[in-house]
């Protein structure tokens, strides 16, 4: 099967993907491939906002300094300066697209700015406590209405089509992608001169996560299998405050709740953050997450509590309407009682190595957003820098793609299913899925040891072999493809963590608790490691 000809394939429909599509569509034909509905990824779930310097009392230099401080000495300063420096322009572009941010008539900027952990100033532009949803629904209308943008929903990318895969003796290049139609179970090949990976992070590799089900590390795994370098995968950000409730799947209690005065308490009402860090509740996420993890394990607790009752009911309902409504659905009135919270896997700080134009090691292939590693986040992402990076790098990647006038063959080989059959036992997939995520949670979590990591590596390699065997012999399904991607990502996280013999940012090792004087990124590159390609 083949699809209509297109100029650019975009895998993923979060902010990075839809921004790229809208920017490209003025001159190019664009195809967005998304594994569920157009709005189904982590961008839509983002509550807090977008960090940008708009206030005269603030400065780009201070935003840079906050980002570098949170990044634990591992940020690329040039990347930080470039992305932070584009903050105002990014907000202006979103505003021209029609995004309506929360206003503040008393403020010179006209918008309400809030503060989050690790920021020295109020610089978070937001739409109440549902910024991501406001941005995504606005962009979705434009995407669906644009004549140059086509959308394939419920389609899942399988693998990139590269010059190596095609047996061509030339510089490494991406020619397109193989895609599974989830509803029909058929696979199509799509060719284009340029492919953009905007597939998000890999939170589903852990048992507990704030991420949607789509966050299975697809772009990172595909790029790795295609030969791209991957960096800093040991730095998985655990959000400190995920709602702890049996019916509250992956619901995040925004950083802004602490930014607006929320206090973390033990079950007896005692505050504990001042004993862990002088910045208390406004410390960066890694500090707060480790403190909560420490208190939970020290006292054998199920959770801790986030208390903002002292701010008054009107304040809470007006600032956090989405969070308030969800908590009320679960019988928790956050205006009258503290909210039970636990840390959960939240953001993948590492990813596919790119430059500041989103270019990867494969010509014609770009990666932007959470799936990429630009050097902005270093060892720990500063709150609300992620959506900023999505817009800034989307604009940069689009500029490069529009200037790259390369032509490639319009046809690529069809998917070969001649040597596979229907799977005999789907239980293999569900069993391996559960085991992988539990292994990562128990052995590769907030606090790590070499022994735990080595155990995780052993189990993951066994699982990888089982999944590889299954993949080679049976027709692909969405669950199998996501599991295949997650086991590759898990392997990358563990290898990166084992290679870092220090504690820095989000990576804390009991065996190496000290921080080395100089920071170096962890960069992994494929050599002769076994792959799960079909030959």
- Point out the residues that are catalytic: 285
CA angle (25, 187, 147) in 5-degree steps: 20
> Could you say which DSSP state residue 101 is in?
P
Token pair belonging to 319: 């600032």
What's the CA gap between 86 and 505, in Å, rounded? 25
What's the CA gap between 363 and 102, in Å, rounded? 41
Measured between alpha carbons, how far is residue 514 from residues 118, 236, 287 in Å?
Answer: 22, 19, 15
What's the CA gap between 104 and 52, in Å, rounded? 16
Sheet architecture: strand order including 263-265? 236-243, 339-348, 304-307, 263-265
C-beta of residue 31 within 8 angstroms of C-beta of residue 13 = no
Provide the 10 A C-beta neighbour count for residue 516. Answer: 13
Measured between alpha carbons, how far is residue 10 from residues 95, 212, 366 in Å?
Answer: 23, 19, 9
The dihedral sign for the CA sequence 223, 224, 228, 230: positive
C-beta of residue 217 within 8 angstroms of C-beta of residue 201 = yes
């Amino acid at each position: 099967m083949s699809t209509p000809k297109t100029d650019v394939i975009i895998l993923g429909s979060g902010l990075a993907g839809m921004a790229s599509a809208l920017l490209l569509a003025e001159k190019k034909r664009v195809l967005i491939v998304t594994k569920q509905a157009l709005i189904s990824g982590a961008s839509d779930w983002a509550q807090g906002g977008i960090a940008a310097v708009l206030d005269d009392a603030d400065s780009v230099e201070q935003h840079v300094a906050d980002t570098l401080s949170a990044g634990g000495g591992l940020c690329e300063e040039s990347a930080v300066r470039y992305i932070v420096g584009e903050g105002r322009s990014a907000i202006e572009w979103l505003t021209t697209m029609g995004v309506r941010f929360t206003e503040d008539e008393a403020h010179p900027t006209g918008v309400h700015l809030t503060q989050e952990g690790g920021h020295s100033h109020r610089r978070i532009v937001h739409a109440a406590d549902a910024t991501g949803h406001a941005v995504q629904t606005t962009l979705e209308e434009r995407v669906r209405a644009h004549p140059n943008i086509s959308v394939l929903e419920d389609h899942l990318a399988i693998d990139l089509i590269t010059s190596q895969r095609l047996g061509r003796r030339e510089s490494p290049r991406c020619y397109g992608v193989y895609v599974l139609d989830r509803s029909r179970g058929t696979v199509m090949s799509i060719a284009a001169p340029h492919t953009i990976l905007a597939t998000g992070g890999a939170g589903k590799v852990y048992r507990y996560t704030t991420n949607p089900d789509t966050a299975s590390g697809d772009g990172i795994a595909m790029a790795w299998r295609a030969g791209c370098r991957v960096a800093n995968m040991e730095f998985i950000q655990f959000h400190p405050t995920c709602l702890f409730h049996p019916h509250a799947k992956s619901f995040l209690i925004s950083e802004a709740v602490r930014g607006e005065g929320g206090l973390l308490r033990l079950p007896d009402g005692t505050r504990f953050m001042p004993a862990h860090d002088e910045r208390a509740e406004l410390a960066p996420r890694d500090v707060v997450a480790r403190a909560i993890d420490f208190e939970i394990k020290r006292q054998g607790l199920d959770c801790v509590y986030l208390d903002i009752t002292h701010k008054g009911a009107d304040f809470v309902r007006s600032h956090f309407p989405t969070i308030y409504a969800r908590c009320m659905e679960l019988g928790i009135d956050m205006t009258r009682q503290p909210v039970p919270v636990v840390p959960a896997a939240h953001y993948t700080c590492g990813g596919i190595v790119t430059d500041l134009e989103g270019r990867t090691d494969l010509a014609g292939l770009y990666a932007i957003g959470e799936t990429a590693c630009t050097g902005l986040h270093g060892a720990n992402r500063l709150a609300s820098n992620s959506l900023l990076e999505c817009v800034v790098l989307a604009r940069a990647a689009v500029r490069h793609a529009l200037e790259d006038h390369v032509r490639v063959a319009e046809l690529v080989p069809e998917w070969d299913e001649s040597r596979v059959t229907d799977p005999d036992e789907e239980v293999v997939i569900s069993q391996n899925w559960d085991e992988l995520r539990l292994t990562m949670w128990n052995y590769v979590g907030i606090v790590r040891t070499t022994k735990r990591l080595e155990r995780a590596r052993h189990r993951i390699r066994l699982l990888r072999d089982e999944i590889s065997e299954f993949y080679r012999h049976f027709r692909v399904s969405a669950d199998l493809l996501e599991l295949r991607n997650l086991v590759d990502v898990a392997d990358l996280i563990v290898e990166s963590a084992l290679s870092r013999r220090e504690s820095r940012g989000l990576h804390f090792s009991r065996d190496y608790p000290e921080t080395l004087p100089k920071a170096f990124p962890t960069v992994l590159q494929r050599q002769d490691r076994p792959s799960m390609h079909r030959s």
